[in-house]
Amino acid sequence: MNNLISIKSATLSEDIAQQLTHAIVQGHIPQGSKISEPELAKQYGVSRGPLREAIVKLEGLGLVTRTANVGARVIQLNTQDMLDTFTMREALEGMAARLAATTMPADEISSLYALLDKHQAHLDANQDEHYVQQGGNDDFHLRIIHASGNVKLIRLLTEELYAVIRMYRRHTADHRSDPRQALREHKAILDAIANHEGDLAELLMRRHISRASQLLAQAMHQATSATSR
């Protein structure tokens, strides 16, 4: 198995951590599976030292759980954890939207309006197919977060929490019932930010995320009841 993405980092352990994160988020390493240090070390062609460091980092990201003398396991997504995570996200991204309403520069606002137009055009041209914007510069949520200007908040959301959030969003994308509704909500949030209405921006962002989590919970519930049948 070869690594599709191979950005040379300064240190092996960083490399491995990135590759492992990608592999887990994309589902190449299945949920709940055990992480075998000797096996992965051989696979990536490194010794166990850097690999262990990478695993410790993944534990910090909440992608694996470690038990002493037993080893690491990839987390298993489940509805309750998802709801808990999205509640946190609601609080944090809500705050980010509030802050963005006072700090976002005018040109970034217009740039975001352009982005939403692009999304709109994509929906029109592709029979409402969901626009894949995972993590890239076209990710509306990431743009808002960065506009908050709060370094700590940005770091927490984009570096520590977003790996797990992305895993859940991968599911959302498949089961999203109405991408146009999401786009409308994005537009409303951006309007509030453009008008410097922090309270409103926060409220709308919260509702937007809350709604997404409810849709996702439904989808996950259906999925589990289907497999258990």
Partner DNA sequence: TCAAGTCAGATTGTCGACAATATTGGGTTT
Partner DNA sequence: AAACCCAATATTGTCGACAATCTGACTTGA
Which positions lie near DNA, rule CB under 7 A? 11-13, 34-39, 46-50, 52-53, 66, 68-72
Cβ 21 to DNA, closest distance in Å? 16
Q: Are 127 and 188 in contact (CB under 8 A)?
A: no
Cβ 229 to its own copies, closest distance in Å? 28
Burial class from Cβ neighbours inside 10 Å (0-12, 13-18, 19+) for residue 83 reads middle
Member of 99, 145, 147, 192 binding its own copies (CB under 8 A)? 99
Residue in this structure with the two tokens 């990536």, named with its chain if needed:
44
Considering beta carbons, is residue 23 or 154 the nearer one to DNA? Answer: 23
Cβ 3 to DNA, closest distance in Å? 15
Q: Cα 26 to the chain's mean position, in Å?
A: 11
Burial class from Cβ neighbours inside 10 Å (0-12, 13-18, 19+) for residue 219 reads middle
Under rule CB under 8 A, residue 8 binds its own copies: no
Q: Which does 150 bind (CB under 5 to 8 A by kind): DNA, its own copies, none?
A: its own copies
Q: Which does 133 bind (CB under 5 to 8 A by kind): its own copies, DNA, none?
A: none
- The 3-state secondary structure of 142-155 reads HHHHHHCCCHHHHH
Under rule CB under 8 A, residue 87 binds its own copies: yes
